[in-house]
Chain A
Amino acid sequence: MIYIYQGVALLEINELKQIVEALLIATPEPLTEARFNTCLGDSDSKIPLKEIIGELASDYEKSGRAFFIKEVAGGYQIVTNAEYESYIKGLFSKSGKLRLSQAALETLAIVSYRQPVTRNDIESIRGVSSDSSLRTLLDRKLLEIRGREDGPGRALLYRTSTEFLQYFGLNSVKDLPRLKEVEDILAEDDNELV
């Protein structure tokens, strides 16, 4: 198949695949459709990135590569297959990735479902001071500060970041499983009691 690019140049699928592959290798963040078009110098290229990615992905799978293309944070990125974790760990000074504490996970859960939130919102749900978990999450760039609340005190507002989506392998916050409704919890508790 041949794609028209910038009205003149004709790009063959193989050539496009190579371009996309090069972009995936060099991209510091997930490669989005918009960014891809910017790279082509044509904001409305009509070249279906998703299809090319699909072709590349099946090439990788057929030839048995140690990595694959992951759809994450609204774009695409190359990640390694899980089975090489034990080797890859040796590349880093710390022994692999540090897991988040229960406190940090609770804080993160509240922010991701209720964003933007203030520290006070988080603390009133958790019932404990959440300074240190917020600090950890900011340091690890899973959360970011996005502006201030309009109300009195103008408290800082926290949101999840692109790194958060990457960390949990999500394409967007909309992909988070639905938070259980209070009614569901009550129903379960009733069952437990019976």
Chain B
Amino acid sequence: MKNQLHRIDLEMFEGPLDLLLFLIKRDELNIYDIPIAQITKDFLEYVDLAKELKLHSAGDFVLMAATLMKIKARMLLPIEANGDDEIEDPRTELMNMLLEYKRYKEATSTFSEMERFERPHYYHVPATWSPQQEDNTAILEDVKLYDIMLTFQYLIKNYEEPATHSVAVEEVTLSEQVGFLNGLLQAKAKLSFADLLEKFESRLVVVVTFLAILEMLRNRQVKVKQSKLFDDLHISRGSTFGN
């Protein structure tokens, strides 16, 4: 029964810092002078639960528990006075983290408020009709890195490695694949990534080729176009191609 209540509680927290802020508020503790022994004890109770419940973020809670115990240990050690150096409170770093997190956490209520306010308004959005697109690959000129990544993930999901029993180690390097793509682009102005996929025998080669494309994109040796998200990637010569 008690666990049931705790479970609900724990899932309310966004992480260990959020939980600490809650404990500080609940017990009216002073954030600059946190009673480490007390808060560590309370915190550990929650962490045990987090582990038990296999919460997604349990690792983050455990890490914080370790930090708290380290601080607690350091506070118990006798302080060695060495010269005029000011002795730093072992809690300072934690306090700064809590304060910094609190600033953003408080800002989220503003965002929430703005979201609530804007929610009922709908933008006038024209139908995505494009007049006389002679080349439909030109629609999305400005392909973002994230789009390319998503597309790659999507394409590779459908890629099946041919069943094979050989165990030979494949050697494929990035520069080899850059060379390979360069060769293809010299012969053909435009390549389709989906067509390329069919040529390859293993996932490793596919991945390395994809990295080669990203590398060439960065050097402006190639341009990548896509007509819509998850669509095939069209690779063509870039401004520095052949240099």
A residues apposed to B, CB below 8 Å: 24-28, 67, 70, 77-85, 88, 96-97, 99-100, 102-103, 105-106, 108-110, 113, 125-129, 138, 144-145, 156, 166-170, 176-177, 179-182, 185-186, 189, 192-193
Contacts and interface: CB of A to CB of B under 8 A. Distances in A.
A96 B125 CA distance: 16
Contacts of A186: 31-32, 99
B102 interface: yes
Given A79-B122, A177-B110, A145 B14 contact: no
A127 B17 contact: yes
B100 interface: yes
Interface in B152-207: none
18 contacts: A24-B124, A79-B122, A80-B124, A105-B111, A106-B105, A109-B108, A125-B100, A125-B101, A126-B17, A127-B17, A127-B60, A128-B16, A145-B144, A169-B117, A176-B110, A179-B104, A185-B102, A186-B31
Interface of B is mostly: helix
Nearest to B121: A79
B126 A25 contact: yes
B31 A168 contact: no
A67 B124 contact: yes
A170 B17 CA distance: 29
B32 to A, nearest CB: 8
B111 A79 contact: no
Given A26-B126, A168-B111, A125 B104 contact: yes
Contacts of A108: 108, 111
B121 A106 contact: no
B31 A127 contact: no
B126 A128 contact: no
B78 interface: no
A182 B126 contact: no
Q: Identify the interface centre among B15, B105, B120, B121: most chain A CB within 10 Å of its CB.
A: B121
Contacts of A97: 119
A92 to B, nearest CB: 9
A113 B104 contact: yes
Contacts of B14: 102-103, 106, 126, 128
Given A102-B14, A126-B15, A80 B126 contact: no
Interface of B: 14-18, 28, 30-32, 57, 59-60, 64, 97, 99-108, 110-112, 114-115, 117-126, 128, 144-146
A82 B120 contact: yes
Contacts of A26: 126
A188 to B, nearest CB: 10
Contacts of B101: 125-127
B97 A127 contact: yes
Nearest to A101: B14
Given A126-B14, A129-B57, A113 B107 contact: yes
Contacts of A25: 124, 126
Contact of A106 (B16, B57, B108, B115): B108
A105 B108 contact: yes
A138 B101 CA distance: 22
A6 B5 CA distance: 72
A168 B105 contact: no
Contact of A99 (B106, B115, B145): B115
Nearest to A26: B126
A165 to B, nearest CB: 10
A177 B109 CA distance: 11
B118 A144 contact: no
